[in-house]
Structures are given as structure tokens and as C-alpha cells.
């Protein structure tokens, strides 16, 4: 079966091209894409050759992870349903994770249409909503996981480091749960999108001192979404006893975190990764209810055959950019 896909053919090279896929099986669902949401951080590290799978960093001696189909999240319309599949019908609007592909470094990819996948990686979307708001569901679920994982009571301080998409959604969830949220970032255009707490521009202000002045040493939650060991270690000075640190960033091979300092405060460290069906279900529900704001984070849309131009913008940051949608 033939399909079209966004392919990283080598480091920093993006091509929209025809690819070969296995024929759909009896337990497969085929989805024709309408939109895909780029994961700037994760996909960017694949594009630069910094990781070879999931949270596995590239190291000397590893094979180059190319060519590889980009991404892992999209929405579209069901084209066909295998005879062994229950619960889906042709014509339904769905969210889908990765689809099967031949001849690539990884046998699955996200930005490919038609996309062949199993029912366990596909969700029906509720009627009456713009499907685009769900097109980044996996990444949105990461933000949900960051904000839902740590225990927090009404009014307790929570700090989120990083004003990217995961940071935005983690901050939204913590605020929804009742926390007093401080979002720390470096981009004024992104920080202004978070209105449920206070924002600190780390380029202009010492965020640790600002947090000490505001909260003292009673912060219950600190979420790192940027993959900064130094930021995690800086947060130790802010945490209350038995507080929780959530790590969601990609640290590559620079991932050595000292454990003795957080032991003094008996801190817990939650390491979040990937997706799980129950979290996907809950995230979808919160998007539909308006708790998670998603389309508000979209700054750019590109026709899929201009994926290389989209990536040039994301990597160069020549203008403010956050959520980027590819239209199929």
C-alpha cells in the first residue's frame, strides 16, 4: 500500500514523499489524515539525530536513525475497518497515534496518510468539536500527566519550568486542581498565553528568588518540562518536606541527577513518559470540557507539502512559534 509521509531523511533534512506501507490486516483501521500536530521538542530531537527511539538518546556507535517518518499524533477520517475490529465505522472522525510503514529506521510513524493502525491507538472524537483541538492528544496527555501525577491541595504552590506546550498544559492542569501556579519561561509571547497563575520570564528575572519571595520554602510541586538538570537541582531550595518533583524533559546523555540533596527533604521524583490509555481518555475528556486549552496555543498552520518550511521556522525561531499544525 502506498502513502504520503513527512520523512526525516537525514539530520536536519525534511521531505514530504511517497512511502510504502504493509497492506492492512484484519485487525487494522486505516485513517486518512486531515491534520497533524507537530511535537516541536520530541520530533526536533529526532530531526537533529539526538535520539533513536522514545526516550533513548543517540550515542556514539548507534546507527543513524534515518530515514524516519516524523511524529506520532494526528486526526482524520476512518477509511476502512478490518473484519476483526469492533467499535469503529467508516467515516468516523478519530485521533490516531502511529501507523505502520516499510523501509524506515522505525516501522511506525505519525505523519503518514493513509495511516494503518490498531484500535488500541485510535480514539473516536466527540461530535460538535473542531477535530484540530484534539490533534496533539499524545502531547496534551503528557502535559496532563505532569499536572495530575503529584499530590497537591487547594492553594499549594506549584512551579512549572518551561513555557512550551507541555509546560502550558501541565500548568493548566495544576491550576484546574487548585494549585497556586508559577509558570517559568523565556518567551513573552508564550507566557502571556497562561492566564491561570503568574508567569516569570527567566531571561529577565531570577525565577528561584522570585519563588522564594512569593512562597518561601513551601513549594509542593515543581515540574521540569525542558530537560534541565540544573533547574531541577535549583528547585530543591524551594521545596517543602515531602514535596514532589516531576521530570518530563528529555535530558539526552546529560542526565546525571544527584540524589542526596533531595533526600534531605524526603522529596519524591516522578518520571513521566509516553502515553497510557486511561490518561488519553481523561485528556480527551478534559479537552472536550474546555479544561485543557489547545487551539489557543496554535501559532502556525502549513500545508503538509510545506513541512520543510514548517520545520525551518521551528528550528530557526525567526518569529514566535509554538503550536504548529500540518494540514493534509
Q: Which helix (H) or strand (E) holds 256?
A: none
- Which domains are delineated in the chain? 2-136+294-327 (3.90.180.10), 139-271 (3.40.50.720)
Overall average pLDDT of the 81-110 stretch: 98
Q: Name which of 70, 53, 55 is nearest 5 in CA terms.
A: 70
Phi, psi dihedrals of residue 143, rounded to the nearest 5°? -60, -45
Overall average pLDDT of the 289-304 stretch: 98
Residue 256 has pLDDT above 90, yes or no: no
What is the DSSP track for 41-81? HHHHHHHTT-EEETTEE--TTSPP--SEE--S-EEEEEEEE
**3-state secondary structure (DSSP) of residue 241:** strand
Residue 10 has pLDDT above 90, yes or no: yes
CA distance 240 to 255: 24
Name every residue whose Cβ is closer than 8 Å to that of residue 209 and which is 6 or more positions away in sequence.
Answer: none
- pLDDT range class, residue 155, cuts 50, 70, 90: very high
Task: Judge whether 34 and 128 are in contact, CB under 8 Å.
Answer: no
Rounded to a whole number of angstroms, the distance between the first and last alpha carbons of the chain is 18
pLDDT of residue 179: 98
Overall average pLDDT of the 209-219 stretch: 97
Of residues 33 and 259, which shows the higher confidence score? 33
Residue 34 has pLDDT above 90, yes or no: yes
DSSP one-letter code for 304: G
CA distance 135 to 32: 13
161-189 residues labelled b (16+ CB within 10 A) or e (exposed):
bbbbbbbbbbbbbbbbbebbbbbbbebee
Phi, psi dihedrals of residue 258, rounded to the nearest 5°? -70, 130
- Summarize pLDDT for 100-145 with one digit per residue, the tens: 999 999 999 999 999 999 999 999 999 999 999 999 999 999 999 9
CA distance 289 to 178: 17
pLDDT of residue 292: 98
pLDDT of residue 254: 83
How much is the pTM? 0.96
CA distance 125 to 100: 22
Name every residue whose Cβ is closer than 8 Å to that of residue 296 and which is 6 or more positions away in sequence.
Answer: 193
Q: Which helix (H) or strand (E) holds 3?
A: strand 2-10
Residue 262 has pLDDT above 90, yes or no: yes
Residue 204 has pLDDT above 90, yes or no: yes
pLDDT of residue 216: 95
Residue 237 has pLDDT above 90, yes or no: yes
Residue 3 has pLDDT above 90, yes or no: yes
CA distance 283 to 144: 7
Mean of the per-residue pLDDT values for the chain? 97
* Helix and strand element counts for the chain (H, E): 9, 21
Residue 195 has pLDDT above 90, yes or no: yes
Name every residue whose Cβ is closer than 8 Å to that of residue 251 and which is 6 or more positions away in sequence.
Answer: 57, 227, 229
pLDDT of residue 302: 98
Residue 246 has pLDDT above 90, yes or no: yes
Residue 242 has pLDDT above 90, yes or no: yes
Overall average pLDDT of the 318-322 stretch: 97
pLDDT of residue 255: 85
Cell numbers at 217, concatenated: 520554602
Overall average pLDDT of the 77-91 stretch: 98
Residue 252 has pLDDT above 90, yes or no: no
> Biggest alpha carbon distance in the chain?
62
Cell numbers at 77, concatenated: 477520517
Q: Name which of 326, 6, 50, 324 is nearest 165 in CA terms.
A: 324
Amino acid at each position: 500500500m502506498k502513502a504520503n509521509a513527512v520523512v526525516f531523511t537525514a539530520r536536519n533534512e525534511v521531505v514530504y514523499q511517497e512511502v510504502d506501507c504493509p497492506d492492512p490486516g484484519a485487525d487494522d483501521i486505516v485513517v486518512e489524515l486531515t491534520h497533524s500536530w507537530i511535537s516541536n521538542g520530541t520530533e526536533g530531537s529526532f530531526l537533529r539525530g539526538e535520539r533513536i527511539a522514545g526516550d533513548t538518546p543517540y550515542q556514539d556507535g548507534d546507527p543513524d536513525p534515518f530515514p524516519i517518518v516524523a511524529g506520532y499524533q494526528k486526526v482524520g477520517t476512518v477509511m476502512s475497518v478490518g473484519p476483526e475490529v469492533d467499535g469503529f465505522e467508516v467515516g468516523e472522525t478519530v485521533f490516531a497515534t502511529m501507523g505502520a510503514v516499510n523501509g524506515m529506521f522505525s516501522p511506525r510513524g505519525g505523519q503518514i496518510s493513509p495511516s494503518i493502525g490498531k484500535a488500541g491507538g485510535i480514539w473516536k472524537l466527540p461530535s460538535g468539536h473542531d477535530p484540530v483541538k484534539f490533534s496533539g492528544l499524545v502531547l496534551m496527555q503528557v502535559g496532563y500527566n505532569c499536572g495530575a501525577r503529584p499530590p497537591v491541595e487547594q492553594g499549594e504552590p506549584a512551579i512549572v519550568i518551561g513555557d512550551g506546550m507541555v509546560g502550558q498544559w501541565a500548568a493548566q492542569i495544576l491550576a484546574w486542581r487548585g494549585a497556586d501556579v508559577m509558570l517559568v519561561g523565556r518567551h513573552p509571547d508564550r507566557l502571556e498565553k497562561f492566564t491561570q497563575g503568574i508567569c516569570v520570564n527567566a531571561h529577565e528575572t531570577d525565577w528561584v528568588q522570585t519563588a522564594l519571595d512569593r512562597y518561601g520554602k513551601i513549594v509542593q510541586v515543581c515540574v521540569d518540562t525542558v530537560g534541565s538538570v540544573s533547574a531541577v537541582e535549583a528547585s530543591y531550595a524551594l521545596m517543602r518536606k515531602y514535596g514532589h518533583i516531576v521530570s518530563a524533559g528529555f535530558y539526552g546523555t546529560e542526565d546525571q541527577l544527584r540524589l542526596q540533596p533531595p533526600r534531605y527533604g524526603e522529596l519524591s521524583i516522578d518520571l513521566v513518559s509516553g502515553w497510557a490509555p486511561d490518561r488519553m481518555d481523561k485528556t480527551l475528556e478534559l479537552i472536550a470540557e474546555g479544561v485543557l486549552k489547545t487551539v489557543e496555543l496554535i501559532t502556525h498552520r502549513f500545508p503538509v507539502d510545506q513541512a520543510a518550511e514548517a520545520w525551518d521556522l521551528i528550528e530557526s525561531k525567526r518569529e514566535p512559534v509554538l503550536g504548529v499544525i500540518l494540514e493534509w
